[in-house]
Amino acid sequence: MLLGVAGSVLCASTLWTVPATPQEPAPSDSGQGVSGVLRLDEEPVDGARIEVETPEGNPVDTTTSAGDGAWSVPLVTPGAYVVRLDEATLPDGVVLADSTKGSLTVEVRPGQDRVIIFQLADESGPTTSEEGFDWRRLVSLSVDGVRLGIVLGVMAMGLSLIFGVTRLINFAHGELVTFGAIAAWVFNAGAFRFPLFLAGIVGLLLSAALGWGLERGLFRPLRRRRTSTVALIVVTIGLSEFLRSFYQLTFGPLPEPYRDYALQREIDLGPLTVTPKSLGIICIGAVAIVLVAFLLQRTRLGTAMRAVADNKDLAASSGIDVQRVILHVWILGAVLAGLGGILLGVTQKVEFDMGFKALLLIFAAVVVGGLGTAYGPVLGALLLGVVIQVSTIWFDTEFKFVFALLALILMLVFRPQGILGRRERVG
């Protein structure tokens, strides 16, 4: 029942939404285009020429960076384009950090303003592996990896808690992630125009309501009918497809940003260059993980959760209300998923399938850390996040997620129970 109420609120709020105040320049009336900002150590780079052409080499348009380093090129039609920075037009002493990354091929979807980042460096400093290793970039990418790992860890912890108590692999967990992000967007960039902090709280409350509704209205009745675990997994797959289609219908197929924190200047912290929102995401995610750990270790509800996860029948015989514990776990798992979706939406735009895209990384983090454990997924997510981001130093960014899948395969081969998982006897 509450699932229907939450869905109706999201649908009605979205349909009555007014367009968000743009945080990035819209390239054209049709919406799609490419844009970016050229900076070196917080100083804008003026007068650099950017050329856009088709993959076949046909010129599309040319522009130059403005006084604040910003540039944009509107595109009439979506598709694949090659964006090239003319290094000869850069000011004296400014070069590309990687001379092979001066030409980038990107895919622009309908209505998408694709942000292009050209990494610049001081010509006097080390810019290639031949001149020396760029330790500053390593530190920055490591922090980006920690940020990604924290976000994945929050989402993966919710998935692992649900599995630990119910033994159900929830393939609709990605849609719980998306729900939190969209709910916060509706209250931040929609008709309500709440600050993102308040919109995020509303999004978490609605996520809790969604978790409550799924357990009371769907999975508890199915368990009472003694539905097999395999059948329940199939139900979660169908639920995932339904919710994703529902989001696409109500939210729309195009990515949308939050009104707050869309563009920020990076700050220098010694060898580290990072945006304030990245630090905020790391802090919020870390606090959420610590609070969940406190709940599990220091409260009666947490003790009951651990007891049910260890042995459901023994917990029931000890007087623990197993169904009540499962209900609380679903609520907690949905809240963690929603929080992860909101944090992910701050780092990128909100999309109807953003949780589905992140689901494979979530599963990888859970398997690497230990399926069913509370803290293993956080450890696995942090390892994967750092590996994914740092790998871009030596490999193209298009291949960075390959290393997460490689870690997943190696873990399944050599330690299938995960880093913090326990061996179990089968048969």
What is 309-345 written as a DSSP string? HH-HHHHHHTT--HHHHHHHHHHHHHHHHHHHHHHHH
The runs of H, that is alpha helices, within 167-228 are 173-189, 196-214, 220-224
pLDDT at 264: 67
From first CA to last CA, the distance across the chain in angstroms is 40
pLDDT at 257: 86
Same topology between domain 33-122 and domain 139-414: no
In CATH, what class is 33-122? mainly beta
pLDDT at 42: 67
d(CA 317, CA 308) in angstroms, rounded, equals 11
| Domain positions in the chain | 33-122, 139-414
**Structural tokens at position 127:** 């810019």
**Structural tokens at position 375:** 């803290």
Q: What does the angle CA 185 – CA 191 – CA 195 come to, to the nearest 5 degrees? A: 55
Question: Cβ atoms within 10 A of the Cβ of 265, count?
Answer: 9
pLDDT at 281: 93
Q: 3-class DSSP state for residue 369?
A: helix
Q: Is the backbone of residue 238 left (phi > 0), alpha (psi -120 to 50) or beta?
A: alpha
d(CA 177, CA 207) in angstroms, rounded, equals 9
d(CA 77, CA 96) in angstroms, rounded, equals 29
pLDDT at 166: 92
Q: What is the sign of the dihedral through the CA atoms of 365, 368, 370 and 372?
A: positive
pLDDT at 170: 94
**Structural tokens at position 230:** 């395999």
Of 128, 135, 130, give the one whose Cα is nearest residue 95: 128
Q: Is residue 425 within a helix (H) or strand (E), and if so which, with residue range? A: none
Helix, strand, coil proportions of the chain in percent (round to 5)? Answer: 55, 15, 30
Could you list the pLDDT tens digit for every one of the 427 residues in the chain?
444 434 444 444 433 333 333 333 333 445 688 888 888 766 788 888 899 988 878 888 888 888 778 888 888 888 888 898 988 888 877 888 777 778 888 888 887 788 888 888 876 554 444 445 667 778 888 888 899 999 999 999 999 999 999 999 999 999 999 999 999 999 998 778 899 999 999 999 999 999 999 999 999 999 999 999 999 999 999 999 999 999 999 998 888 889 887 666 777 776 677 788 889 999 999 999 999 999 999 999 999 999 999 889 899 999 999 999 999 999 999 999 999 999 999 988 899 999 999 999 999 999 888 877 778 889 999 999 988 888 878 877 777 788 778 878 888 888 877 787 666 544 4
d(CA 296, CA 289) in angstroms, rounded, equals 11
* Residues in a beta bridge with 113: 33
Q: Residue 151 to residues 26, 58, 157, 375, 378: CA-CA distances in angstroms?
A: 29, 41, 10, 14, 9
**Structural tokens at position 10:** 């999201």
pTM for the full predicted model: 0.72
State the residue for tokens 């998982």.
Answer: 421
The CATH topology of domain 139-414 is ABC transporter involved in vitamin B12 uptake, BtuC (1.10.3470)
**Structural tokens at position 234:** 């199939």
